[in-house]
Amino acid sequence: MWINSKQLLIFASMKILIVDDERSIRNSLKEILEMENYQVDTAENGVQAIAKTDKERYDAVFCDIKMPEMDGLEVLSRFMESGVESPVIMISGHADIETAVECIKKGAFDFIEKPLDLNRILITIKNATDKANLVKETKVLKKRIYGQEMIGESAPMLQVRDMISKVAPTDASVLVTGPNGSGKELVARSLHQLSQRSMMPYVEVNCAAIPSELIDSELFGHKKGSFTSAIRDHKGKFEQADGGTIFLDEIGDMSLAAQAKVLRVLQERKITPVGGDKDIAVNVRIVSATNKNLQAEIAAGRFREDLYHRLSVIVIRVPSLDERKDDIPLLVDYFLDRICADSGMQRKEFSQEARDMLVAKDWTGNIRELRNVVERLLILGGNPVSPDDVKMYVNI
């Protein structure tokens, strides 16, 4: 098998951990893999292996099953509990089919019997690392699909992140509040992405953008012939989101009639398409958002109190940009990188004085306004962007 210089460079950057209580096995496997240009580290027991994976990330881990004190299955379980992302390949000379199946169930990538075969080892490493790369690519694609990561280290943002991490794994309904442009939709996407439903659909609905006469059809679907333009059956947003998450943005603008039907979905987990005579069971998690004070809307008779209590099992308030000014320099750099990457424009620096002026500004449009300002200065400003540029092109 011919290996070109580029492949050798890739192999040389790959690091593998071998966990085995037999020194001869550790050394022979280490020599074989080093001859194939892998970087190799070893551990003689499970305790050492756990300590090493806590400090370093490995592209693959070979772990023996039969070891004193802590056997390989316990090591594997500890890896899974602590979130070790490296593919784990279990090895043993005393195992049977049941053991191999148990290893795979516990999260092992593969199982190899001793004596170890060189070709089998190399193929397994390639398959394991290919899978790890696919997982990384999937995470990157998810960020692109669901939105960018939440930028900011201010106390209000750390609190929001903490809430998301606690709430996301549950199925509780979440109401996200905050001013326009503050990033409520990003919180909703993060809740889905970090949930057990992350591989299922994520469906967004802008309640304010759907005409009242069409909201039933959009949310619950319709049957062919149920009205003049219904030329075919149409799945509504709730059915499209079955198994996943539906995000009801601007829920405060939904009509009272539609609110009553959403309440029914929450209570009965069923929908009835327009023109249909059969209920359809749906399993969706509802995340909603609004910039309105729903308590005031309830008092004015424009929002149902019973629906509010159903939607607001958990309330996450997203701070305005003026409440998290410490994050503005980080956001400026983030938007610079994103805009330049998306448009191909040359990156410009912002002088410290220009940054200070942006921090001092009142941001009524929040994150959305800041992004627009950064793009405007990137296009029209000098390099570096100066205080005069900010005065000329930004409403200070």
- pLDDT at residue 215, as a whole number: 86
pLDDT at residue 308 above 90?
A: yes
d(CA 65, CA 9) in angstroms, rounded, equals 32
Instruction: Return the number of other C-beta atoms located less than 10 Å from residue 46's C-beta.
Output: 24
Nearest C-alpha neighbor of 172 from the set 269, 284, 68, 74: 284
Encoded tokens for 310? 């159903």
d(CA 11, CA 13) in angstroms, rounded, equals 5
CA-to-CA separations, 52 to 45, 63, 72, 282, 324, in angstroms, rounded: 11, 13, 15, 45, 38
Q: Phi-psi category of 227—alpha, beta or left, where left has phi over 0 and alpha has psi -120 to 50? A: beta
Q: Angle 328-343/366-380 helices, nearest 10 degrees?
A: 60
Q: What is the dihedral of CA 203, 207, 210, 212, to 10 degrees?
A: 130
- pLDDT at residue 274, as a whole number: 87
Strand 280-281 versus strand 314-317 pairing type: unpaired
d(CA 161, CA 144) in angstroms, rounded, equals 19
d(CA 182, CA 193) in angstroms, rounded, equals 19
- Helices and strands in the chain, H and E counts: 17, 12
- pLDDT at residue 140, as a whole number: 57
Q: What residue ranges do the domains of the chain occupy?
A: 5-143, 155-317, 321-393
Residue 396's pLDDT band (boundaries 50, 70, 90)?
A: confident
Q: What is the dihedral of CA 299, 311, 293, 368, to 10 degrees?
A: -160
Whether 155-317 and 5-143 are alike in CATH topology: the answer is yes
CATH class, range 5-143: alpha beta
Its pTM surpasses 0.85: no
Q: Phi-psi category of 253—alpha, beta or left, where left has phi over 0 and alpha has psi -120 to 50? A: alpha
Task: Name residues whose C-beta falls within 8 Å of residue 314's C-beta, 6 or more positions apart in sequence.
Answer: 163, 167, 172, 173, 174, 175
- pLDDT at residue 95, as a whole number: 66
pLDDT at residue 180 above 90?
A: yes
pLDDT at residue 130 above 50?
A: yes
d(CA 267, CA 119) in angstroms, rounded, equals 57
pLDDT at residue 84 above 70?
A: yes
pLDDT at residue 9 above 50?
A: no
Question: Looking at per-residue confidence, does 227 or 209 come out higher?
Answer: 209
Q: What percent of the chain has pLDDT over 70?
A: 93
- The CATH-assigned architecture of domain 155-317 is 3-Layer(aba) Sandwich (3.40)
- pLDDT at residue 213, as a whole number: 78
**What number is the average pLDDT over the span 319-329?**
96
Strand 270-271 versus strand 280-281 pairing type: antiparallel
Q: Which spans in the chain are helix H? A: 5-12, 23-35, 46-55, 72-82, 97-105, 118-146, 155-167, 184-193, 215-220, 237-240, 256-268, 294-299, 305-311, 328-343, 352-360, 366-380, 387-393
Q: In what order do the strands lie in the sheet with 174-177?
A: 202-206, 245-249, 285-290, 174-177, 314-317
Q: Angle 184-193/155-167 helices, nearest 10 degrees?
A: 40
Convert the pLDDT of each residue in 183-207 to its tens digit: 999 999 999 999 989 989 999 999 9
| 3-state class (DSSP) for residue 334 | helix
pLDDT at residue 167 above 90?
A: yes
Write the DSSP symbol of residue 350: B
What is the third-level CATH fold of 321-393? Answer: Helicase, Ruva Protein; domain 3 (1.10.8)
Write the DSSP symbol of residue 207: G
- pLDDT at residue 10, as a whole number: 42
Nearest C-alpha neighbor of 92 from the set 72, 113, 106, 76: 113
pLDDT at residue 148 above 70?
A: no
Stated length of the chain: 396
pLDDT averaged over every residue in the chain: 88
| 3-state class (DSSP) for residue 287 | strand
